[in-house]
Every structure is written in structure tokens, then in C-alpha cells.
A and B are shown apart, each in its own frame.
Chain A
Amino acid sequence: MLRFALNRLLQAIPVLLIVISATFLLVHSAPGGPFSADKAVPPEVIKALEAQYNLDQPLWQQYVSYLGDVLRGDFGPSFKYSGRTVNELIAAGLPATAELALYAMLVALVIGISAGVIAAMRPNSMQDYVPMSAAMLGICMPSFLLGPLLVLVFGIHLEWLPVSGWGDIPGDKIMPSITLGTGYAAYIARLSRGGMLEVSISGLYPHRARQRPLRAVNYL
């Protein structure tokens, strides 16, 4: 297992190197520069700016120093947001992304497993059809549709939840988590229903099933 993981990590090195080099060269070969603007910029100013960001050095030198910085985990200054470093921008966004992913996963698991279990308890009855149709709808409904719909109903008409923000107003994390989680909940619901039924059909626990009537709680 450890060997496998190590192997994978070593394989990632050349891949990352190729990706970094390719993006570096692509960005350099694209027309326009970080300092081109709508308003005319005098050439002296462009020169002064390029010197400040070391863009006046030969390409290979820029590449080597960039690679060195990346190895040290320093992605350099942002060209767009004056004074910010790329690391700072990532650090500002990453916690929110991680938090959202966690909540969405919780939503997916809670709704998905509950719906799957409910459906599997009485297969081919209304108790099965209703949650499974809902799951089908969840799979078909993309988040860019569900999001605005939730906003319209709970944000604008009912005014229960804020329509935007993250950690600014109480409750503003609910709708993003539900929107992102629902699609996965639908998959999980179908999986857990399938898993439950498989267990009962394949008879993993035939001795117990024979001893007493099949009870859903036994599975849980």
C-alpha cells in the first residue's frame, strides 16, 4: 500500500513539471501582457513595471526562478490584485471551499442514505417510488438550476434565507450546501437502495432471516 502511494506520488512529479512548463510557455506566447490596458501606457512605464516583476529577464531565467519559487510553495505576486500574493488569494478562498465541500457532503449523506433506506424497505411500493423519483429528479437537476430556484423561493419570496454570502449573515451557508449536496444525495440514495436490496436478496444473513421476520432495523 505504502509502495503504491509512493509510486503514485513519484509519477506526479513529471506530470506536474510538464503542466507547469506548458502553462508557463503558453502564457508567455499569448499576445498581450499583464500591463496592457485600455488606456495607452507609455513604453518607459511598461519597462519600469516589467523590471519590478522581473519580466525583463531572459525567458529561461524567468522560468528557472519561477520553478524555484513554486518548489518552495511561493506562487509569486498577483498581477491583477496589486499587493496580493497568489498564496494569499488561495488562502482566502480555500477554507470556504473546504467548508462548503464538507457541508455538501453531509447534506448528501444524510438525505441520500435516508432516502435510500426508506425506499429499500418496501421495494416497488409508493414508499420506494416517491424517494427514487425524487432522486432521479435530483440527478437530472443541475446545480445552476436548483440554486436560483432555491434563491427565488427561500431567499426572495419567503425571505427565510440570505441569497448570497458566506459567513456574513446567519444561515447564508445553508442554500449553497443544499444546492451542491443534492446532486450527490441523489446518487447516494440510489446506491444505498441498491445496496440494501442486494443484501436482502443475496441473503447475506439467511440464518437470521429464517429465525425471525426481516426487519429493516437489522440492517442499520
Chain B
Amino acid sequence: MKRQLSDLTFSLCSTIALTLLSIFILSGCGTSENNVSIGNRTGTLHWGNGTEPQSLDPHIATGVPEHKIIIALMEGLVLKDSKTLEPRPGVATSWDISEDGRVYTFHLRKNARWSNGDPHNAHDYVWSWWRALQPALGNLYAYMYFSIENAKEYYEGSIKDFDQVGVKALDDFTLQVRLKNPTPYFLQLLDHYSLYPVHRQTIEKFGGADERGTRWTYEGNLVGNGAFQLLEWKINRRVVVERNPHYWDAENIKLNKIVFYPTENAITEERMFRAGQLHYSGTVPADKVATYQSRNDPALHIDPYLGTYFYRLNVRVPHLQDKRVRRALGMTIDREQITQRILKAGQIPAYAMTPPNTMGYFPESDLAFNPEAAKQLLAEAGYPNGEGFPATEILYNTSEGHRKIAVAIQQMWKTHLNIDVKLLNQEWKVYLNSVSGRDYEIARAGWIGDYVDPNNFLDMFLCNGGNNRTGWCNKEYDRLILEEAPTAKTHAERLAIFTAAEKMLMEDMPVIPIYIYTSNNLVNTSVKNFNDNILNQPSFKEIYLEADTGVEN
């Protein structure tokens, strides 16, 4: 009996062992081949892209994952230098700017083609920009067009005739754009995907020009003008793009394919990177950053990012109407503590709204951590030692990161000003509703720049700025941003005007800047020409793969 039993045990165990063994053999265990090493050989870049793209239509999309895919598939008149972000020729080979800075004439290259081989010319831009300004399309980035003459009026419906909008094809290869005011950052805007051209025949084949959610961006349908074309789009699995043979610069493209993986979970994406399934991951979990830093891992790239984390103060709330109170709140946030103890990923304490070195602009601000002076200000405002300070709430959208910062600030205000604030979290859409309806007292906010210019941060706080949402209004500030800055003669003069405006903003403090974001990227060392820049915008045109000899991935 004993012998038979152990026989059975043996046979069961061996069955299990055999199954496991065959599984491992089938799965290719023992070989050191992975996505990265295979990709390096075949020219396939494996890109961790965060979440599933919500749309690949450049006139509808708004998010970062969408951005990364769209810039592979499409291209604007002007590109950006991947290091300096200076304008470089894209579809336009050159451009002339009129003396008064209001008329731009673009000379388009004659060998530009759509990915299906169709000719690509100036008329494509007129039609595409007309489409982008149709209200029914719901283009959230329509404001990127508003420096063009009558574009805003057309979008808002006060002008019905598109011919009055300042864009015109002078001939097949010459596009003229008239601006409302001189706009020194206009070339910057052209590399934003919201101003990319779209292929008219494809869009009309799948629905109306201003119809949202047609199938033109799907696998097998999408036609673009970029260095790559869409090969595959499997929901929640991958988006694959391959070289576009019709691209004007196709011979200089080194990558054959890019595979974009949507991975909702940042921790999973980091593991995929470590296991050699990805060449790149743009979402490093905050508590992993220290590990990479401590071993000086060359894969970790930390760079300043064109974005500011700040608190809005609703200046219509009675006790926040007094700018001394607002200043006192701003002066008692110890930003170093927040960046070093909570965020821990190289974030920069912010004492002004615009990130430093935005096209050579370094904001000046007298804001500093100064509890003594803050106490004084609060006392002058009628709340000595915080006595009688009304109950106040900090509103934030539900997220552990925002909560940690809010708790720290709550504690700092208690310690330094002896005031009690409460925390209130709301789901994203509810929070958006509260903030835009100005139904809050203090609200957490973030702003990521769309183009590299101080204007993108400062024009938010114009009296009727759609994203102001604080109720703050200063006519002199409006005059500086709307009248003085656009007509400045030199870049330096223009920056000086922004400096003055920003000082004004910080003195009144309708917003409390907290920190400047950083981009945290994990980049395999075999990825060459990955140039870090403040927009965290890769140039897939330039990237190539080269395995380091002797180093295993």
C-alpha cells in the first residue's frame, strides 16, 4: 500500500512539474531576450504611455498620452528643436514675418505628402483650421488659435464667414496668416497638435467635418502627415505606429516601429521597465525615485517641467478679500519641506507662477517663507494670532498626493498663523464644477504650459480669463499683458513687462504658487537622442536605438 501511495504521489508531482517545465520552455525561459533587446535589433521602440488614448484626433485630444502618439503621426508647419525648443522647419521650409509682426507667410515644402501618398499643401491648413474652430467639434484647445485675426470671433459665433479669419492659401505652397496682435510666441503654437493639419478626404469619408467621434482615427483609417503611420490600435493593449514611407524626411527616420502601451498603473509600468519590456516609462512612482537616485541609475531622467502646482484663493470670499490675508497664507507655506519631505522627486519650490527659464524668463518675486512677517500681516488684517479667523476649507480633487500636501499646509498654517482650515476632497468632475462655479474658498490647481512662453501662465489671470476662476481682476495687469507685452520691441523688453506683471500678481496673491513640476522619465540606455526638454516632448524623428556593447539590458 505504501509503495502504491508513493507511486501516486510521484506521478502527481511529476505531472505538475512537467506542466510547469513545458510552460517555461514554451515561454522561452532561460534566454535573455526581451522586448528591449529584440527592439534594439529590429528598430522597435517600446514606449510606456500611461493611459489608453481617449482620441487621436488632434482637434479633440487634450491629454499627455494622446499628445505622444499624435506627434508621431502628424506634424505642423513648424517643429521644435528637441533640445532648445527653438522653431525648426516642419512642413514649412521657411517663413517671413512682416515688420509689424502681424503677418506670417509660410513657404511649404513641395515634397510633403500624406501617409496615403496624397499631396499635402497650403489648402489643407485652411480647411483644417476651419474645422478646428467649429463649435460642434468641441475643441478644448481652440484658444490656441485666438492670436489669429478673427479666430476667436468666428469660434464664438459673432463672425459667420470664415473668409474673415486671418488664414489664406496664397497659392498651393504659400500660406499667409494674419494675427490680431504681434504674437512673438506664434511659431511655438504651430508645433502644438491642436494646429496640426488633418486629411480632409479621410474625415469626410467617415462623417461630418465637425462631427465628434467618427471612426477616421481608427486602425486602417487614419491618414496623417507625420514621420510614422498608424498600424494598429487595440483598445487597452497597444497602439503601434510604423515608418511612413511618404514622409518628406523618411530617409532620416531611424526607428521602424513604436509600440505605445497603455498602462493605467504606474507601479506596473515601472516593473515592465525593469523587466526589459519597455524602453521608456514616463510615470515613475514617487517612492521609487529615491531608489533610482541612490544607485545613480542612468535610466532616471529628472528635469524641470513647464507646469506649476498652486492654490487658487477665491477673492470673493469676505475674509479672503484682504490681500494681507492672502499674502500671510502664501508666506507661511514652507515649500522646501513640501518638495523635500513629501514630493521627493526633484520638484522646485515655486515663489511665482511662471516656471523659471521659460524662454529665458526668470520671474522675480518677493514671496518667501516668512512666518513672522505673515503673523504681522494677519494681525493688521484683524486676526491677531489667528483669533476670529473664519472657518476655511481647502478643496482638492481626490488623490493621495494632493491630500498629503493639503495636510502639510493645514499644519503649517496652524503652526505659524494659529488658524484652523478644513480639508475637503471631491471627485474630479465635481471638483471642476466647484472651481469653475467659484464655489470654494481655497482650491488646489495645476497648470501645464501648452507653449513655452510666460504669456501662457500669466494670461490666465486676466479679468475675463476663462481659467482665472479666482475673481481677481486688475486693470493695470490686463493692460500689461494685453497691450504692453505684445507690442514690446525686443525680447528683453517683453520679459521685463512680464516681470512687472508677475510681481503685481504675487503682491495681490489671488493664487499661491507651491512648486514647479518635474518630468520623471525612465529611459533605457540604448535609447539615443532622447533629449530632455522643459515640455517633456520627445522627438521620435531623431530617436534611435543602439544596444550598449557588453551591457545586458
A15-43 interface code vs B (CB 8 A; 1 in, 0 out): 00000000000000011110111111110
A54-95 interface code vs B (CB 8 A; 1 in, 0 out): 000000000000000000000001001111100011001100
On chain B, the residues within 8 Å of A117 by CB distance are 12
Q: Are A81 and B55 in contact (CB under 8 A)?
A: yes
CB of B140 within 8 A of CB of A156, answer no
Given contacts A44-B157, A83-B215, A159-B32, contact A52 B27 (CB under 8 A): no
B57 touches A82 (CB 8 A): yes
Report the minimal beta-carbon distance from A23 to chain B, rounded to whole angstroms: 16
Interface residues of A in 122-167 (CB under 8 A from B): 122, 127, 151, 155-156, 158-167
Q: Are A42 and B433 in contact (CB under 8 A)?
A: no
Task: Identify which of A31, A89, A158, A167 contacts B429 (C-beta below 8 A).
Answer: A31
User: What residues of B have a CB within 8 angstroms of the CB of A36 in the complex?
Assistant: 429, 432-433, 436
**Residue numbers in A under 8 Å from B142 (CB-CB):** 45
In the complex, the chain A residue whose C-beta lies closest to that of B397 is A38
Smallest CB–CB gap between A41 and chain B, Å? Answer: 6
Interface stretch, picked from A5-13, A190-198, A199-207, A210-218, is: A210-218
Residues of A within 8 A of B19 (CB): 110
Complex formed: what's the CA distance from A170 to B139 in Å? 41
In the complex, the chain A residue whose C-beta lies closest to that of B238 is A168
Asked if residues B62 and A37 are in contact (CB atoms below 8 Å), the reply is yes
Distance in Å: Cβ of A86 to nearest Cβ of chain B: 12
- 29 examples of A-B residue contacts, CB within 8 angstroms: A33-B429, A35-B138, A38-B432, A39-B140, A40-B436, A44-B135, A44-B156, A45-B138, A81-B54, A82-B55, A82-B61, A83-B212, A83-B215, A84-B213, A84-B235, A92-B236, A114-B15, A118-B9, A155-B275, A156-B271, A160-B24, A163-B271, A163-B272, A163-B277, A164-B263, A170-B28, A171-B28, A171-B29, A174-B27
What 9 pairs between A and B have smallest CB-CB spacing? A171-B27, A40-B466, A32-B429, A82-B55, A83-B213, A92-B235, A32-B433, A48-B136, A160-B29
Please name 15 further chain A to chain B contacts, defined as beta carbons within 8 Å, in addition to the given A110-B16, A215-B4, sorted by A numbering. Answer: A32-B427, A32-B429, A35-B138, A36-B429, A49-B138, A49-B212, A82-B61, A83-B213, A92-B234, A111-B16, A118-B8, A118-B12, A163-B268, A164-B269, A169-B277
> B residues engaging A (CB < 8 A)?
1, 4-5, 8-9, 12, 15-16, 19, 23-24, 26-30, 32, 34-35, 52, 54-55, 57, 60-62, 135-136, 138-143, 155-157, 211-215, 217-218, 234-238, 263, 268-269, 271-272, 274-277, 427-430, 432-434, 436, 466-467, 469
